[in-house]
Structures are given as structure tokens and as C-alpha cells.
Chains A and B, each alone.
Chain A
């Protein structure tokens, strides 16, 4: 049982790592989700007791107290899952934002854009430039963004 869980965790973690190293940004996000789920599984497995329930079993005679799995690790796994879920959503937003502004999901192309931008970095804090949307972005999504974030539309 332990070996099996360990193998499952290892395979999920390895797949996550593999995806994390891909060029496509969606795959990177999926990789992150897999890795954080592997961690949650690892936590659960650290309190594993041969598949017993975590709830304290009560029968007619009173407390049995035998063979319950550790409930604390399950609470921990739940917390970790929620955090991982929230962060996956956040990273997806970043990916969407990158896609909206650059029209690509490829890490290499994003990196090229990064090099281009690095040269004009010093001009970035210019207040006039801040108010303008980036050129690649279509107006519709900008307006939608502006509305959602409560920015004053131009």
C-alpha cells in the first residue's frame, strides 16, 4: 500500500515536472496543478492507515479507538488543496493576460518579447505611457478589463 502510494505520488510529480518544462504556457499551468496535487496526496499518505476512515468510529458498546486514520493530515491536505486551487486560478489569469497582450502561448516567443522590452525598460515609468493600452491588445478586451477592475475607461 505504501509502495503503491509512493509510486502514484512519484508518477504524478514527475508528470507535473515534465509539463512544467514545456514551452506551452497551458502545459506549465497543468504541470503546476499536478505537482500541487501530488503534494496533497503525499500529505494524505503520511497519515495513511490501511484505508481506514478518519472519523472516530463509535459503536453501541462505546469507543473502539482501533484503526482510525489520522484526521489531521486530511485537514492539512484539504487546506493545501484549497490553496493550490486558488493559486492555479491566479496563474491561469496571468497566462490569459499574457495571451491577451501578446497573442501567443509559447514561452520562447514570450521570452523574445521580454528581450525586446528589456531595452525600453527605463521608459516604462513614464506616466503618459501608462495610460495607453498595449498595442497588441484589442480594444474590446481592454474595455472589459477596465470595467472589471474599475479603471476609468479612456
Chain B
């Protein structure tokens, strides 16, 4: 194994081994959580180095057991996968540190978080569709348990809903994989892409629809969104950050990998559907978010709207569209991480962090969210001419206006309005923010918000990485020429 290949195994290997060993220890002790955070940090550093190598030299491949390529199970890191792994592990690390500072209450918590990280990094860097499913299930089942963290009744209910709905989604995905295997006779992404391009569209189109539906469910798009608010609103701050900042990336990555990369022809046929779903999500999410009072509820509905933009960018396609989709996914998960973590505690620094996060979601310039909105805007103008293009620009603009509105509303409710006036204790209960967290947690949240601001002020690396990821798709990636 070369040095790059060893590096490729680190993000999965380190978190996995630690997850298993920490499961035996009492996770409520601070040092156990710290070891977990350290493991995540090692994983993050190796992903950074890997990202650097991959963007410079192209994909790194490792076939398990030293088999020939096409025979053994392939691990493959390219710019697209590494970008998603990088941002997901960043959010998970932040959530883990946050929880260590606030105080872990479950002995299994650090181990479960590590399992989510291991599953996610494996999923983003596998070259085998069945392994994708297995890693998907590893991170999903760990997150089902995490949703019930703190064991309030509504959290257990949330976990139940989350588990049932997403289990249905993964079964549908599994059926899609089995069907792909039937028509292509292979599980290797590269081979699948080559062979589906030769098949007639009819059968592959059905399979593509099944797989896309599974990812739509995972993303929480408009008609598939019903489970999302119940889960995101009830979850503890760090868990909600992991769910919406890291786990939801599976959906956008899956659509980019399976849709744009493996089945580009089928995605092309479904462009109108994808576009309509994206538009419906933007409008629905924004309207619901505007009408809610509670900060985490607003953010849960806003999450539905935000994935709509990713879908729009995906439907537009081409270099601009795919770059916008990757860029928006990255920025979106950082936004969500900051906002959900900040919603759990209070204090001036946290307030500032929340404001930065919320306004980044709205797309106000200094924050990174502006870049995402800008990229989608650009894609809408350049990618689609005529009436459709104009309609998309109008939609993106309208969605942006709404997200500005609800961001400002929460800001006003949560931070500007003076506390209890004593007149309406019932209503004021809604407005009193939660407990003041320990200083370390507050600095952490603020630091993460500064990263968001920094990426907005110095966007070159982010844009470069997103372009490299889009190039992977366009240059064929696994598939042939699009």
C-alpha cells in the first residue's frame, strides 16, 4: 500500500476502531469524549491531506485485499467524495466537542458519534454500491439511536419516526441497488456507469427513479419531508447539528454521485421533475419557516427549503450547476451546524454566532451563504436560457427574500426583544432562550461561525474544491463522458 492508500483508510479506520473501543468505556467521563474528539480530529486532518492530494493528482484508489480492480471491493477517494467527507467530519467534530463541553449524558454517545463519522466517511469514499448501502446503514442506525439522546419522550418519538421512515428509504435504496446489479451484473460504480450507458433507458429509468426517491427521502424534500420537523425540532442541539449538518449530506452526495455521475442520462430525462420538486421545496420550506415561532422549528423548515436550492442546481447541471450544487451543500451543512449548535445555548457570543449562521442561510454577503446563493443564481442565469431561466432566477430571489425574512424574525425574537415583560408569561416562555452554556462551548460555536465568515471573505479554496468536485462528475468520474 502506498502512503496515499494508507491515508485513504485512516478516516474510516481510526473512527471505527475508536468507536468500538469507546463503546466499552463510560462515555460520560470527559476524557472518553475527548478521545472521541481527538479521533475525529485525526480523521479530519487525514481528510485534509487527502483532499489536497486528490485535488492535485486525481483520485486515490484502494482495492480491498489486494485484488485486481473490478474484482475486489474498491475504495476510491475523488474530489467529490472527499469534499463531502471533509465538511461532514468538520460538523461532527464540532458537535462532539460541543457535547463534551456541555457534558455528555449517555455512556454510548461518543461511540455512536464516531460510528456516524466512520459510516459517513466510508460512504463518501467507496467505489462499490453495496458498500455504499452498508456504510449508509452504519451511520443511519447510529443516528437513529442518537436522535433519542437525552431520552425525553418527544425525542424517543422522534427517533421512532426517524427510524421507521428512513428504514423504509434504505430498503427502497437497497431494492434499487439489487435492480442495478441485475441489469449490469456488477456492483462496482465504474462498471455500472459504463454498462448502464449501453442499456436502453426504460429499465434503468425505473431503477433511477427508485434510487432518487430514496435520496429525496433522506434529504427531506417537499413531498418526502413529513418526518423531518418532528425529528429536527425535538433533537438535542448537537444531535440536530449532526443530523442536518452531516447526515443530510448523504442525500445530496447520493444525488450527485448516483444521479449526475452514474446515471446522467436518466437524471437528464428527469430534469423537469427534479426542478419542480426543488422549486416546491424552496417555496414550501420558506413559507412554513416564516410562519413558525420557535428558532429550531424555523430552522427545521428552512432545512427543507435549503435542499431545494441544491436540487435546482443539480437539475440545471453542467459545470456551473454541479459546482453550485457542491458549493451549496458544503455551505449549507456548515450553516446548519452553526445554527443548531447555537440554538442550544445562549450568551452574547452565541447570539453573534447564531446571527452569522442565520444570515448565512439568508445569503447576506460577508457570510459564506452568500457564495452558495450566488452560485445557484449564476447557474440559473447561465445554465437555463429563456423563460425557464427567468423563472428560476425569480424563484431563487423569492426564496432568498423569504429566508432573509425568517432569519430576521428569529433574530428579533431571540435576541433583540427584551426578556419577559411579565404580561404574557405563557408566550414569553417561548422566547426565553435555553441555558447559558459553559464558556468553552460558546467559544466553539462562535469559532465555527467565524469559519463561516472566513469562508465568505476568502472563498477561493472552497470554490476551487467545488469546481474540482464538479470536474470529477463532468470528466466522467466513474462513468464515461456525459
A interface residues, Cβ below 8 angstroms from B: 20, 25, 28, 32, 35-36, 38-39, 42-43, 46-47, 72-73, 76, 79-80, 83-84, 86-87, 90-91, 94-95, 97-98, 101-102, 110, 113-114, 117-118, 121-127, 130, 134, 149-150
Q: Find the A residue at minimum CB distance from B144.
A: A90
Q: Is the interface of A mostly helix, strand, loop or mixed?
A: helix
Contact of A101 among B134, B153, B182, B294 (CB under 8 A): B153
B160 close to chain A: CB less than 8 A = yes
With contacts defined as CB atoms under 8 Å apart, how many contacts are there between chain A and chain B in the complex?
112
| B230 interface residue (CB < 8 Å to A) | yes
Name the residue on B nearest A102 (C-beta).
B153
Contact B178 A43 (CB under 8 A): yes
Once the chains bind, are A46 and B163 in contact (CB under 8 Å)? Answer: no
Q: Which residues of A contact B30 (CB under 8 A)?
A: none
A39 to B167, CA, bound (A): 12
- In the bound assembly, the distance between CA atoms of A114 and B154 in angstroms comes to 6
Contact of A46 among B152, B182, B429 (CB under 8 A): B182
Of B156, B163, B178, B434, the most chain A CB neighbours within 10 A belong to: B178
Chain B proximity of A93: nearest CB distance (Å): 9
B184 to chain A minimum Cβ distance, whole angstroms, is 11
- Are A122 and B434 interface neighbours, CB within 8 A? yes
Report yes or no: B435 in contact with A113, Cβ–Cβ below 8 A.
no
Return A5 CB to nearest CB of chain B, in Å. 12
Ranked nearest first, the 10 interchain pairs of A and B with the lowest CB-CB distance are A46-B182, A94-B160, A43-B178, A125-B434, A117-B154, A39-B171, A46-B178, A83-B137, A39-B174, A97-B156
B164 engages A121 (CB within 8 Å): no
| Other A-B pairs, 12, CB within 8 Å; known A36-B167, A39-B174 | A80-B174, A87-B144, A94-B144, A98-B160, A110-B157, A113-B157, A117-B154, A122-B434, A124-B152, A125-B344, A127-B435, A149-B107
A113 to B237, CA, bound (A): 22
Query: B294 near A114 (CB under 8 angstroms)?
Result: no
B 158-186 binary contact with A (CB < 8 Å = 1; else 0): 01100110011001001100110110000
Measured CB to CB, the nearest residue on chain A to B186 is: A72
Which residues of B are at the interface with A, using a C-beta cutoff of 8 A? 26, 105-107, 130, 133-134, 137, 141, 144-145, 148, 150-154, 156-157, 159-160, 163-164, 167-168, 171, 174-175, 178-179, 181-182, 187, 230, 233-234, 236-237, 294, 344, 429-430, 432, 434-435
- A-chain residues with CB within 8 Å of residue B151 when the two chains form the complex: 97
Contact of B234 among A47, A121, A149 (CB under 8 A): A121
Establish whether residues B181 and A46, one from each chain, have CB atoms under 8 Å apart when the complex forms: yes
CB-CB under 8 A from B164, the residues of chain A are 20, 28, 32, 91
Task: Return the contact of A91 from the options B153, B167, B430 (Cβ within 8 A).
Answer: B167
Query: What are 7 A-B residue pairs whose CB atoms fall within 8 Å in the complex?
Result: A20-B168, A36-B171, A46-B179, A94-B148, A121-B233, A122-B430, A126-B435
Contact B145 A42 (CB under 8 A): no
Q: Inside 8 A of B134's CB, which chain A residues have their CB?
A: 79, 83
- Distance to closest chain A CB from B192 (angstroms): 14
Q: Which residue of B lies closest to A25 (CB)?
A: B160
State in angstroms the CA–CA spacing of A123 and B152 once bound together: 11
Q: Among A36, A38, A47, A90, which residue has the most Cβ atoms of chain B within 10 A? A: A90
User: Are B153 and A134 in touch, CB under 8 angstroms?
Assistant: yes
* Chain B residues positioned under 8 Å from A122 (CB to CB): 294, 429-430, 432, 434
**B395 shortest CB reach to chain A, Å:** 31
Q: Which residues of B contact A43 (CB under 8 A)?
A: 174, 178, 181
CA distance A86 to B144 in the complex (A): 12
Which residues of A have CB within 8 Å of B233?
A: 121
